[in-house]
Amino acid sequence: MEKVKIYSRFERFWHWTQMVLILLLGITGFEIHGSFEVFGFETSVRLHSASGWAFLVLTIFAAFWMIVTGQSRQFMPVRNNVKSQIMYYMSGIFKNEPHPVPKTAESKLNPLQRIVYFGLIILVFPVQLITGFLYLFFHYPEKPFALESLETVAVLHTLGAFLLVVFVIVHLYLITTGHTISSNLKAMITGYEDLEHSENK
């Protein structure tokens, strides 16, 4: 095994800040929706709006960073090994079989991760931001603009929220699928991960 730097400081900052914002947006969003009560309606509205702006700023910086550094290639979907990756998660991982697509500093995401993250970046995040800000400016705090109905916007925003909940749950499980149960988590904290020598060639 060899200790390899996988994640830069900005990547780790981006990951953890994004995680906090998504959790805060989820909690306050579902409270606004009436699912439960944590902060109180008015406070949740303010927190949700502030978190939405923060998420937008973070997304702009992340997009700029990915383009400038060329890291956007990490999120581009590929066709190779998609089936083998699916089979690995369905059965191979439980038989202690080797990972079909070893992680390297140049290729941090496996084929399924690339598809999921690409979908989040290109579809889910933009839909959430657009529908969220439409709802903000056409509904809160005192309906500064008049729209006859926000039902479609609200449904799309809620659908996106449920997709993010599913993603978070699956993501928490996948954290445990590294060389050890905590290796992926440690890598996102320290930036370094222990990889086999053959995985770095």
For the stretch 42-89, pLDDT in tens is: 999 899 999 999 999 999 999 999 999 999 999 999 888 899 999 998
Q: Which residue has the higher pLDDT, 140 or 194?
A: 194
- Reported confidence tier of residue 199, pLDDT bands at 50, 70, 90: very low
pLDDT of amino acid 167: 93
Where does 2-200 sit in CATH, by number? 1.20.950.20
**CB environment 60-69: b (16+ within 10 A), e (fewer):** eebeeebeee
Task: For the chain, give every domain's residue range.
Answer: 2-200
For the stretch 159-177, pLDDT in tens is: 999 999 999 999 998 888 8
Give the span between the Cα atoms of 76 and 108, in whole angstroms. 11
Specify the pTM: 0.85
The angle formed by the CA atoms of residues 50, 33 and 119, to the nearest 5 degrees, is: 70
